[in-house]
Amino acid sequence: MIIPIRCFTCGALIGDKWLEFSQKVARGKSPGEVLDELNIKRYCCRRMFLSHVELIDEILKYEEKHVEKK
């Protein structure tokens, strides 16, 4: 799904860092290095990034189109 705005455990703001994280990892950089660069040090916050699965594109395939019937 979409990355949460805050860490579930500590409540730190993390949602604003997701785009930069995903772009750097896609370019081939190590996820650990990127998290260090973004100054994400807590294990709970790092977990949020490393375990996140982007499913929004998969879900949108199955969205039903609601059409009003007369």
Residue 69 confidence (pLDDT): 57
Kindly report whether the global pTM for this prediction surpasses the value 0.85: no
Instruction: Please report, for the domain that includes residue 38, its CATH number.
Output: 1.10.10.60
| Structural domain that includes position 70 | 1-70
Gap between the Cα atoms of 62 and 51, Å rounded: 24
pLDDT in tens, the chain (70 residues): 688 999 999 999 999 999 999 999 999 999 999 999 999 999 999 999 999 888 877 877 777 665 455 5
Those residues with Cβ within 8 angstroms of residue 25's Cβ, 6 or more apart along the chain or in another chain: 31, 34
Distance CA 35, CA 39 (A): 6
Instruction: Please report the pLDDT score of residue 10 as a whole number.
Output: 96
Q: Please tell me the total count of domains within the chain.
A: 1
